[in-house]
Amino acid sequence: MFSDLTDPILKSAAEMPLVPIDRQTSLGELAYASLKEAIVRGEFSAGQKLTVRAVAQALEVSTTPARDAIMRLIGEGALVNAGPKTVIVPPLTKTALDEVTAIRLVLEALAAKIAAANISPETIDKLKTLQSQINSALDAGNYSAALKANKAFHFLIYQTAKMPRLTTMIESLWVRIGPSLNDLYPEFATSRVGVSNHMEAIAGLESRDAARVQAAIEKDIRDGYRRLATRVE
Amino acid sequence: MFSDLTDPILKSAAEMPLVPIDRQTSLGELAYASLKEAIVRGEFSAGQKLTVRAVAQALEVSTTPARDAIMRLIGEGALVNAGPKTVIVPPLTKTALDEVTAIRLVLEALAAKIAAANISPETIDKLKTLQSQINSALDAGNYSAALKANKAFHFLIYQTAKMPRLTTMIESLWVRIGPSLNDLYPEFATSRVGVSNHMEAIAGLESRDAARVQAAIEKDIRDGYRRLATRVE
DNA sequence: ATTTGATATTTGATGCAACAAATTTGTTGC
DNA sequence: GCAACAAATTTGTTGCATCAAATATCAAAT
């Protein structure tokens, strides 16, 4: 015991089984997260103007972090510049919905396909838990909880693909439709069209059938599209 | 003559034959464009640290526009945060290249497919002009000109799809591999592997054969991938 | 009453100073 | 030499004042 105290426990810090903590707790980061959340929740009506000073005042920070957050959201398409000095939350036009859906189809299909090869039993358990959460949220009429669990369900699959850049890109697409999803209640709650697609996706993952998972996700996207399309234009 | 002076020349401004000018000439915008250009040209070695003040000084602006530019480029993945106070231009690892290529394949294939349905004879002429520019640039050994014309060729096709959000996403992927492309000279110049793919794409567009265009673009991406893959790791 | 023009207000952009955190450099002790 | 500690410097963040441009308000004229 203690036979060789000069021998270091670890040869370098890189060998420590720890993941670096990300200190992304700047006010700009918080403002970004907070504003994005509000947009996805549909707190702003489409076309509503956002000013730097108004956002700064609402978040109780100075103009700089507020401006950071707005510019960042413009960069990923969650907000748009509609004039020289006016940024608005973009209304979801039919054209935009068509384009976003076409991109979602290829991107989320890719993620789903690769996820099927990387799936673990633990992740499948979590997916089943999330699906039951969706069901009970719908039963309880808690629509926003159902939306949240639905998003968690999809992104748990996508994250399984271990393609972080892909996941980020998909996220930016969801932000653009997020606001409009809130208008779908209660139609979405009663129809429960997503449930069977999710069950099919889980079944495909369990049998590691990439094509089956991909088809289930694609159908889920198309079903959602049809509902959204009736609400725009 | 002058029979009815009370009649207005134009009923509304909307009837005037003018297109609105876009005033996107803020310093932040210019700094962003300039910095992105420099990154794609490979001016910075992979892993090189970028500081707000250094960029500000180089561009002869204050910290604010420089910070705007850096944050924006971080947002689209052209720069990455590698530590609490260090942003670097990310080295292209094999993993990153694999992921970006997989995404490019589905996204650019989608754009190419839709472009085939929207193509006009004028655009095909422009594509042929660009291809001849690529050839003569390669003949002259002007590699950076060849790269620039190659990019123009691809994006002229993608823009034909009339999906602006898709084009932006593809652009952000090109920025990530751009720096490494410069290391490929002169191998790329001598092999001229891209030429046949481009001719095939043009032929497919002329006959409006979406599958053929898509296949040509996919092959072009895969060929480029093989060359890049030998240089990373 | 509607339009035109001037005035006032709002707003994004920009620069800069102050601060805190992180890094680098220097120094001391062994 | 080298490890440990401390001082100095670098650096991102934040707030704010200022400016010019855009928008809104209002009055006068037709």
Its domain, for residue A153, covers 94-231
Does B43 share its domain with B149?
Answer: no
- B68/A72 touch (CB, cutoff 8 Å), yes or no: no
pLDDT digits (tens, 9 = 90+) for B3-60: 443 444 444 444 445 554 555 678 999 999 999 999 988 888 888 889 999 999 999 9
Q: Does the CB of A85 sit below 7 A from strand C?
A: yes
User: What is the distance of C-alpha B233 from the center of its chain?
Assistant: 25
Q: Is A128 strand, coil or helix?
A: helix
Does B99 share its domain with B174?
Answer: yes
Interface of A with B (CB under 8 A): 23, 68, 71-72, 75-77, 84, 96, 99-100, 102-103, 106-107, 109-110, 114, 163-166, 168-169
Q: Are A173 and A92 in contact (CB under 8 A)?
A: no
pLDDT digits (tens, 9 = 90+) for B59-92: 999 999 999 999 999 999 999 988 888 899 998 9
| B80: β partners | B88
pLDDT digits (tens, 9 = 90+) for B128-170: 999 999 999 888 888 888 889 999 999 999 999 999 999 999 9
Does B98 share its domain with B204?
Answer: yes
Q: Of all protein residues, which has its CA closest to the C1' atom of C11?
A: A85
Question: Which tokens go with B85?
Answer: 């106070």
pLDDT digits (tens, 9 = 90+) for A25-77: 789 999 999 999 999 888 888 888 999 999 999 999 999 999 999 999 999 99
- B169/A169 touch (CB, cutoff 8 Å), yes or no: yes
Q: Does the CB of A20 sit below 7 A from strand C?
A: no
Q: Which residues of A touch B96 (CB under 8 A)?
A: 165
Q: Does the CB of A62 sit below 7 A from strand C?
A: no
| DSSP code at position A184 | G
Closest CA of chain A from B184, distance in Å:
24
Q: Of all protein residues, which has its CA closest to the C1' atom of D15?
A: A62
| A87: β partners | A50, A81
Cβ-Cβ contacts under 8 Å between A and B: the total is: 58
pLDDT digits (tens, 9 = 90+) for A197-231: 999 999 999 999 999 999 999 999 999 999 899 88
Nearest to A143 by CA among A188, A96, A95: A188
- Residue A205 within a domain: yes
- Residue B131 within a domain: yes
Angstrom distance, A26 CA to D12 C1': 10
Pick from B99, B110, B168: CB nearest A102: B110
Does A112 share its domain with A48?
Answer: no
Band (pLDDT 50/70/90 cuts) for residue A13 is very low
Measured between CA atoms, the residue of chain B closest to residue A172 is B169
- Distance in angstroms (rounded) separating the CA atoms of residues A88 and A172: 17
- Residue A201 within a domain: yes
CATH code for the domain of B50: 1.10.10.10
Q: Is B9 strand, coil or helix?
A: coil
Boundary (domain end) residue, out of A88, A110, A129: A88
Q: Which helix (H) or strand (E) holds A50?
A: strand A49-50
Residues in chain B: 233
User: What is the distance of C-alpha A68 from the center of its chain?
Assistant: 21
Band (pLDDT 50/70/90 cuts) for residue A191 is low
- Distance in angstroms (rounded) separating the CA atoms of residues B46 and B39: 10
| B88: β partners | B49, B80
Band (pLDDT 50/70/90 cuts) for residue A190 is low
Total domain count, chain B = 2
